[in-house]
Amino acid sequence: MKFTVVGAGAMGLRYGVLLQEAGNEVDFVDAWQPHVDKMKEQGGVYVTRDHENEHLVPVNVYYPEEYTNQDQDVLVFFLKQMQLEDMLKRCKHFFNDKQYVLTCMNGMGHVEKLLQYFKPEKIIAGTALVATILDGPGKVDFVGKPGAGSMNMANYTEKPDDVTYKLVEELKKANFNPNLTTNFKGTLMAKVVFNSVVNTLCTLFEIKMVEYASYAGADEMSMQLINEAYDVCELDGIKMLNTRQEELDSINYVSKVANPLHYPSMYQDMSKNRPTEVDYINGYLVSLGKKHGYEAKTHEFLAHLVHLAEHNRQAKTKINKLNTKMEKRAVNF
Ligand SMILES: NC(=O)C1=CN([C@@H]2O[C@H](COP(=O)(O)OP(=O)(O)OC[C@H]3O[C@@H](n4cnc5c(N)ncnc54)[C@H](OP(=O)(O)O)[C@@H]3O)[C@@H](O)[C@H]2O)C=CC1
Ligand SMILES: CC(C)(CO)C(=O)C(=O)O
């Protein structure tokens, strides 16, 4: 199949490189200048697996404005939620009615934005229990052994067609262990609940997934968040993919067995002083609850804590910059 990955960050590269290695034609489109320039200069991206076996994988990478190919079967969107709107505007010149869309971004908000550019029957969304880190421009680390992760996916219309089945086959060959469901919202919300626990708490305490899951009180904390989230989803009429207990089991399995040493992607944003996706994860649950007169108080409190941490980090960075400037001036006197 022919793919264009829009968003050649950690996950975009993981999907694109593995689909390419499985025999597909893949192009990448990204807007982060140091990263795109580095990949162009190197003639590809340096890939490691659990920080070993570094090797250069050739990739075709473009800025949105220079990309004109309209011949793709599937556009794969992997951006941070807050980058998507702008990227869609910058890429719309290569969209057409024939292309399918696949996205496994965390949080909620992306589907509504994609629906402004693509027909419902072309949209396939899912979730990826696959951990990946962009170490810096032109350099990505695939966490976990080949085939260790898994993903769920569903058509927006909940009616799989031939292209969907073909896509599932390609994702299988690329070792993503795809599971096709016919429950769109339930599939996406399972991951929102997962991330609302693991990403948020690991980020706040700056700990790896196993460090959270091995705390004696973790199950109780996780269940409190799962219960609130499930109450919200049930009020909204969403048929959840897992039971509450299965959701807890999934959190424990992924955190203790599949990716114990991973710092979730939200932590990676926080530690590099970038805004996090918390408003699209815990914040989404809070807003959905409010729509039905329900207050998801624990999720609301956690979202505040993440924003407080973002605020403090930014304030500290400003003070440090100011101090450095003053030190330089003092030296010049
Ligand atoms: N990573 C993971 O393990 C998983 C991620 N996801 C989801 O997939 C989607 C895409 O996420 P992901 O692939 O992780 O994100 P990306 O790797 O795409 O994020 C990269 C973006 O971060 C910014 N950035 C700035 N400086 C740096 C730096 N030094 N190193 C790395 N990035 C920098 C750039 O945007 P800018 O210049 O605008 O700041 C860049 O475009 C999200 O919804 C995420 O939640 C889902 C499952 C797992
Ligand atoms: C890999 C995983 C599942 C860990 O929570 C993830 O979604 C992330 O890092 O954002």
pLDDT at 5: 98
Which of 149, 142, 240, 230 lies closest to 186 in space, CA to CA? 240
What domains sit in the chain, N to C, each tagged with a CATH number? 2-182 (3.40.50.720), 188-317 (1.10.1040.10)
75 lines ligand 2 (CB under 6 A): no
pLDDT at 314: 86
229 lines ligand 1 (CB under 6 A): no
Cα of 168 from ligand 1 centre, angstroms? 24
The residues, any chain, with a CB within 8 Å of residue 282's CB and separated by 6 or more, are 196, 200, 296, 299, 300, 302, 303, 306
Cα of 104 from ligand 1 centre, angstroms? 13
In this structure, what token pair is assigned to residue 283?
């914040």
pLDDT at 332: 74
**Contacts by 157-165 with C-beta closer than 8 Å and gap 24+?**
157/120, 157/121, 158/182, 158/183, 158/184, 159/121, 161/121, 163/73, 163/74, 163/100, 164/100, 164/124
SS3 content of the chain, % helix, strand, coil (to 5): 55, 15, 30
Q: Which residue's alpha carbon is nearest to atom 20 within ligand 1?
A: 9
Q: Which residue's alpha carbon is nearest to atom 5 within ligand 2?
A: 264
**CA separation for the pair 79, 93 (Å, rounded):** 18
pLDDT tens digits along 225-280 = 999 999 999 999 999 999 999 999 999 999 999 999 999 999 999 999 999 999 99
pLDDT at 327: 82
pLDDT at 333: 67
Which atom of ligand 2 has the smallest separation from the CA of 264?
9
Kindly list the averaged pLDDT for each block of 10 residues, start to end, along the chain of length 333. 98 98 98 98 97 98 97 97 98 98 98 98 97 97 93 98 98 98 98 98 98 98 98 98 96 94 95 95 98 98 98 85 79 72
**CA separation for the pair 166, 162 (Å, rounded):** 6
Q: Nearest ligand, CA of residue 262? A: 2
Which atom of ligand 1 has the smallest separation from the CA of 274?
39
pLDDT at 329: 79
pLDDT at 152: 97
The residues, any chain, with a CB within 8 Å of residue 203's CB and separated by 6 or more, are 264, 266, 267, 270, 276, 306, 309
What's the ipTM? 0.96
7 lines ligand 1 (CB under 6 A): yes
